[in-house]
């Protein structure tokens, strides 16, 4: 089997696995799901209003034919990038897999649908909430003090 045909079969196989399992193991987040994530970070880590921890990893691959340096990363091997967000229990809530290893962390982030959804305010986030132990009167008086001192 030639390498192009083999790569096509691998791609179709991975796509089929993703399509079959993604909705079961990584369903779309809605407002109540995001609220659970936020509550989990506050209860476990005392980190209020946190919607996830984001990190990435380079997954080593064999250099694709005629790919040049697109997949060659700063660690000096060929890779694709997995960028993911997790809840307070280390469970994935979102992933982006397959960007070129040569792209910077910021570049990978800027290419994701999640970033776009956040910017366009279509990510189904819950409404903003105040930080714990703050009352509106406290915030208003602090804002007035800042304005007065400015």
**pLDDT tens series, the chain, 150 aa:** 555 445 544 555 556 666 777 777 788 899 999 999 999 999 999 999 999 999 999 999 999 888 899 999 999 999 999 999 999 999 999 998 888 999 998 999 999 999 999 999 999 999 888 887 766 566 665 665 566 554
- For residue 81, the enclosing domain spans 26-149
What pLDDT sits at residue 107?
Answer: 94
Residue 50 vs residues 38, 53, 101, 128, 146: alpha-carbon distances, Å = 5, 8, 28, 11, 26
pLDDT of residue 16: 65
Q: Is 16 domain-assigned?
A: no
In-domain check, residue 14: no
Helices (H), the chain: 3-25, 31-45, 105-110, 113-119, 136-149
Number of domains in the chain: 1
> Does a structural domain hold residue 52?
yes
Global pTM? 0.72
pLDDT at 131: 80
Asked whether residue 13 is domain-assigned, the answer is no
Residue linked to tokens 């079961």: 24
């Amino acid at each position: 089997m030639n390498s192009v045909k083999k790569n096509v079969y691998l791609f179709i196989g991975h796509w089929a696995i993703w399509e079959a399992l993604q909705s079961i193991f990584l369903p779309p987040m809605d407002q109540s799901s995001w609220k659970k994530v936020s509550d989990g970070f506050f209860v476990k880590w005392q980190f209020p209003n946190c919607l996830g921890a984001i990190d990435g990893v380079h997954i080593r691959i064999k250099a694709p034919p005629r790919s040049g340096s697109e997949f060659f990363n700063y660690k000096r091997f060929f890779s694709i990038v997995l960028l993911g967000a997790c809840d307070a229990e280390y469970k994935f809530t979102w992933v982006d897999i397959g960007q070129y290893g040569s792209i910077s962390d910021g570049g990978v982030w800027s290419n994701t649908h999640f970033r776009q959804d956040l910017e366009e305010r279509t990510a189904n986030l819950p409404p903003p909430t105040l930080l714990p132990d703050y009352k509106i009167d406290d915030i208003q008086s602090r804002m007035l003090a800042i304005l007065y001192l400015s």
